[in-house]
């Protein structure tokens, strides 16, 4: 049976035609707000990259990339991207982007190992963005500044949606609450990371959890992160490790914390060497991306991804991500949704 959460008395607020128009409105408004807030210009991103170059994002290190051979390249294998975390940094260098400016692109991925439910799909669509920074900006204060700018872009987008569709009421809190994952662990020492996320997000509404990837006081990380894009081991001025984090919003429909974005200040040479050693991945230093970074051929940067369908389902008060994106779902999940009065695209 499918992992479907059934909210009580749920009914979509928009009909099919309104739904499609509202999705377009959100995507157009948010990317305009994001690009102006962070001074990003749009660039074209790849659907796949060559295998064995260290460019693809390996996420938690266990997800399998969708691969295929390329006939005209002597059957060299390409991988459908998981995200564009490292590709974007290469592109910043290629385009000679100056500090204070950056790029964003539409990222489309296939994650075949995803467990399908109300918020997880094998099709992932997000705005991937990356911005060049100066050495003195590699700190937690700057990370929080960027997070606030992105969150404000979401609030402005939500205002536009509610103005256009008066049956929709705003859900985003006016302020975002910052907390380090170790502080969160100490608040709820007997809870799992997901339970901690649930409790703090239900209380605060909008939360940014800092420090994802490094071991906490109990010897376990809040969540896993690849060792070669986000910096999750540098000590910050708040006395904790980590210059990255996740943005979570309380979802009243599903009664859970919804992760909208993962972002962070990227590794410099020192952090890369440290994190590769910690994770036993030092062989990656022989890969194309890592050689470029160690040779000082890539700029310092901050970047992340923002879920397009997740933002749409949140702002449009949807119970299932399949109401705002076209994907493949288990037959029993589709049937259950139909019986409840709404359809999956």
Q: With a cut of 50, say whether residue 179 has pLDDT above it.
A: yes
Q: What residues are annotated to the active site?
A: 57, 111, 126, 246, 259, 262
pLDDT for the residue 57: 74
In the sheet with 67-70, reading across from the earlier edge strand, the strands are: 48-50, 76-80, 67-70
* Residue closest to 261 by CA, chosen among 148, 122, 344, 156: 148
Which tens digits make up the pLDDT trace of 181-193? Answer: 999 999 999 999 9
pLDDT at 53 exceeding the cut of 90: no
- Encoding tokens for residue 108? 């489309």
Contact by Cβ (8 Å): 170, 162? yes
What is the pTM assigned to this prediction? 0.94
> Higher-confidence residue: 236 or 62?
236
* Lateral strand order in the sheet of 123-132: 40-42, 102-110, 123-132, 301-307, 256-265, 244-251, 206-210, 177-180
How confident is the model over 114-131, as a mean pLDDT?
A: 94
Query: Using CA atoms, how far apart are residues 71 and 61, in angstroms rounded to an integer?
Result: 28
Q: Is 259 helix (H, G, I), strand (E, B) or coil?
A: strand
Q: What's the pLDDT score for residue 1?
A: 44
In this structure, are residues 216 and 181 in contact, taking their beta carbons and an 8 Å threshold? yes
Query: Among 55-69, 157-171, 194-208, 231-245, whose mean pLDDT is lowest?
Result: 55-69
CA–CA distance from 310 to each of 119, 141, 275, 280 (Å)?
7, 27, 30, 33
Structural domains for the chain: 16-339 (3.30.930.10)
Instruction: State the average pLDDT over residues 315-338.
Output: 94
Confidence at residue 61, expressed as pLDDT on a 0 to 100 scale: 57
> What pLDDT, on a 0 to 100 scale, did the predictor assign at position 26?
98
pLDDT digits (tens, 9 = 90+) for 259-275: 999 999 999 999 999 99
Does the pLDDT of residue 2 top 80, yes or no? Answer: no
Which DSSP string corresponds to 14-32? Answer: S-HHHHHHHHHHHHHHHHH
Tell me the two tokens of residue 46. 């790849």
Q: Which helix (H) or strand (E) holds 247?
A: strand 244-251
What torsion do the CA atoms of 7, 12, 13, 14 make, to the nearest 10 degrees?
A: 160
Tokens coding 203 = 């209380």
Report the candidate in 171, 262, 192, 273 with the shortest Cα–Cα distance to residue 225: 262
Integer Cα distance of 264 and 338 in angstroms: 39
Long-range residue pairs from 26-32, CB within 8 A, at least 24 positions apart, any chain: 26/157, 26/161, 26/311, 26/312, 26/315, 26/316, 27/308, 27/312, 29/156, 29/157, 29/160, 29/161, 30/127, 30/153, 30/154, 30/157, 30/306, 30/311, 31/104, 31/127
Task: Please check whether residue 305 is in contact with residue 263, taking contact to mean a CB–CB distance below 8 angstroms.
Answer: yes
Which tens digits make up the pLDDT trace of 76-122?
A: 999 998 889 899 999 999 999 999 999 999 999 998 888 899 999 99
Q: Using CA atoms, how far apart are residues 299 and 186, in angstroms rounded to an integer?
A: 36
């Amino acid at each position: 049976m499918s992992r479907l959460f059934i909210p009580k008395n749920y009914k979509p607020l928009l009909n099919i035609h309104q739904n499609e128009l509202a999705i377009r409105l959100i995507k157009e408004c948010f990317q305009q707000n994001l690009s102006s807030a962070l001074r990003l210009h749009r660039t074209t991103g790849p659907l796949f990259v060559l295998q064995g170059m260290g460019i693809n994002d390996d996420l938690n290190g266990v997800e399998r990339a969708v691969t295929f051979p390329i006939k005209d390249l002597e059957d060299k294998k390409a991988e459908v991207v998981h995200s564009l975390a490292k590709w974007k940094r290469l592109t910043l260098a290629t385009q000679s982007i100056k500090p204070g400016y950056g790029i964003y692109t539409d990222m489309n991925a296939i994650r075949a190992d995803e467990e399908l439910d109300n918020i997880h799909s094998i099709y992932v669509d997000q705005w991937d963005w990356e911005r060049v920074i100066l050495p003195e900006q590699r700190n937690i204060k700057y990370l929080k500044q960027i997070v606030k700018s992105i969150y404000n872009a979401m609030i402005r987008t939500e205002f536009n949606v509610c103005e256009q569709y008066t049956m929709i009421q705003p859900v985003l809190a006016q302020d975002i609450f910052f907390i380090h994952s170790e502080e969160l662990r100490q608040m709820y020492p007997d809870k799992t990371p997901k339970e901690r996320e649930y409790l703090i997000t239900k209380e605060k509404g909008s939360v940014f959890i800092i420090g994802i990837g490094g071991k906490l006081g109990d010897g376990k990380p809040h969540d896993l992160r690849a060792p070669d894009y986000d910096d999750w081991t540098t000590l910050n001025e708040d006395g904790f490790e980590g210059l990255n984090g996740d943005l979570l919003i309380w979802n009243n429909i599903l009664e859970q914390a919804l992760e909208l974005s993962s972002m962070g200040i990227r590794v410099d040479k020192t952090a890369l060497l440290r994190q590769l050693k910690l994770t036993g991945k030092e062989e990656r230093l022989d890969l194309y991306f890592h050689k470029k970074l160690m040779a000082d051929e890539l700029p310092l940067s901050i970047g992340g991804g923002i879920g397009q369908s997740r933002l749409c389902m949140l702002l449009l008060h949807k119970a299932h991500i399949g109401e705002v994106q076209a994907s493949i779902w288990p037959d029993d999940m589709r049937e259950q949704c139909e019986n409840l009065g709404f359809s999956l695209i």
